Amino acid sequence: MLDLKFVRENIEEVKENIKNRFMNVDVDLVLSLYEKKNELLQEVEAIRKQRNENAAKMKSKLTNEERQALIEEGKGLKDTIAEKEATLNEVSQKLDDEASRIPNMAHPDAPVGKEDKDNLQISQWGEVPKFNFKPKDHVQLGQDLDIIDFDTATKVTGPKFYYLKNQAVFLELALIRYTMDKLQAKGFTPVITPDLAKEEILQGIGFNPRGAESNIYTVEDTGMCLVGTAEITLGGYLSKTMVDANDLPIKFAGLSHCFRKEAGAAGQYSKGLYRVHQFTKVEMFVFCRPEESDAMHEKLREIEEEIFQGLEIPYRVVDTCTGDLGAPAYRKYDLEAWMPGRGESGDWGEVTSTSNCTDYQSRRLGIKYKDKETKEFLHMLNGTAVATSRAIIAVMENFQQEDGSILIPKQLQPYTGFDRIAKK
RNA sequence: GGAGAGAUGUCCGAGUGGUCGAAGGAGGCGGUCUUGAAAACCGUUGUGUCGAGAGGCACCAAGGGUUCGAAUCCCUUUCUCUCCGCCA
* Same-domain pairing of A11 and A42: yes
Decide: helix, strand or coil at residue A146: coil
Asked whether residue A107 is assigned to any structural domain, the reply reads no
Q: Which residues of A90-100 are buried (b: 16+ CB within 10 A; e: fewer)?
A: ebbeebbebbb
- Which residue of the set A100, A293, A353, A362 is catalytic? A353
Enclosing domain of residue A192:
116-421
Contact A18, A25 (CB under 8 A): yes
Torsion sign (Cα): A209, A96, A25, A354: negative
Residue A108 counted as domain residue: no
**A350 an active-site residue?**
yes
Q: How confident is the model at residue A61 (pLDDT cuts 50, 70, 90)?
A: low
Could you tell me if residue A106 is inside a domain? no
Pick the catalytic residue: A21, A275, A331, A342?
Answer: A275
The answer to whether some atom of strand B lies closer than 7 Å to the beta carbon of A69 is no
Residues A139 and A11 both lie in one domain: no
Angle among Cα A168, A302, A108 to the nearest 5 degrees reads 125
Name the pairing type of β-strands A224-226 and A218-219. antiparallel
Higher per-residue pLDDT: A322 or A264: A322
Same domain, residue pair A129 and A77: no
pLDDT of residue A67: 79
- Could you tell me if A164 and A269 lie in one domain? yes
> For all residues of chain A together, what is the average pLDDT?
91
Residue A212, pLDDT score: 66
Does any strand B atom come closer than 7 Å to the Cβ of A55? yes
Residue where one domain finishes, among candidates A42, A74, A99: A99
Would you say residue A87 lies in a domain? yes
The SS3 call for residue A240 is coil
Question: pLDDT tens digits, residue range A96-115?
Answer: 889 999 999 999 999 999 88
Domain holding A207: CATH number?
Answer: 3.30.930.10
Q: Where are the alpha helices (DSSP H) in A21-61?
A: 27-57
CA A214/CA A192 separation, integer angstroms? 25
Q: Of A67, A99, A131, which residue sits at a domain end?
A: A99
Q: Is residue A231 located within the same domain as residue A370?
A: yes
Q: Which of residues 343-402 of A touch strand B (CB under 7 A)?
A: 368, 375
Indicate if A23 and A83 belong to the same structural domain. yes
Contact A248, A256 (CB under 8 A): no
For residue A181, what is the DSSP state?
H
**Helix %, strand %, coil % for chain A, to 5?**
45, 20, 35
Confidence of residue A264 (pLDDT cuts 50, 70, 90): low
Q: Span A118-124, mean pLDDT?
A: 93
Q: How many structural domains does chain A have?
A: 2
Least confident piece of the model among A228-232, A304-308, A368-372: A368-372
CA of A234 to C1' of B22 (A): 36
Q: How many angstroms is C1' of B42 away from CA of A373?
A: 26
Task: Give domain status of residue A347, yes or no.
Answer: yes
Instruction: Average the pLDDT over A124-146 and give the result.
Output: 94
Task: Write down the catalytic residue from A231, A304, A336, A350.
Answer: A350
Domain shared by A405 and A265, yes or no:
yes
Q: Is the CB of A78 under 7 A from strand B?
A: yes
The packing angle between helices A11-20 and A27-57, to 10°, is 130
Q: Which nucleotides of B are covered by protein (CB under 7 A)?
A: 18-19, 47-51, 56-58, 68-69
Verify that A298 and A412 share a domain, yes or no.
yes
Which of A40, A64, A99 is the last residue in one of the domains?
Answer: A99
Asked, for residue A213, whether it belongs to a domain, the answer is yes
> Is residue A181 in some structural domain?
yes
> What CATH number is given to the structural domain containing A14?
1.10.287.40
What's phi and psi for A186, nearest 5 deg? -95, 10
Longest dimension (CA), chain A: 104
**CA A238 to C1' B81, whole Å:** 25
A135, A36: one domain: no
